[in-house]
Amino acid sequence: MSVVFLALYINSVAASKLYKHPQILWLVCPLLFIWIRRILLLTDQGLMADDPVIFAFKDLASLIIAVVTVVFGVVAMGF
């Protein structure tokens, strides 16, 4: 549902006002889906020993996805 809500936000008037190029935010949707799916798989396998937020700060893949997401956000703003 998070990906759906992000997609709805990207198509909203609010996103058009805040971002110069909101269409770039569409690249965040697959990243968010991949990250959520990865977290669910790791949890199901019993490999997540920490709180999900703490895990995200310690996990290299989560950090890479976060950095790429921030870059897409900055580019979408037009900086």
Whether pLDDT at 44 is above 90: yes
The per-residue pLDDT for 65 is 97
> pTM score, two decimals?
0.87
Cβ-Cβ contacts under 8 Å for 4 (sequence gap 6 or more):
none
Whether pLDDT at 33 is above 80: yes
Give the Cα separation of 59 and 55 in Å (integer).
Answer: 6
Q: Residue 27 is which amino acid? A: L
The per-residue pLDDT for 45 is 95
Whether pLDDT at 50 is above 80: no
Backbone dihedral region for residue 58 (phi beyond 0: left; psi -120 to 50: alpha; all else: beta): alpha
Q: 60 is written with which tokens?
A: 């290299």
Query: What are the φ and ψ backbone dihedral angles of 69, each rounded to 5 degrees?
Result: -65, -45
Whether pLDDT at 51 is above 80: yes
Cβ-Cβ contacts under 8 Å for 42 (sequence gap 6 or more):
48, 55
Q: 9 is written with which tokens?
A: 């936000």
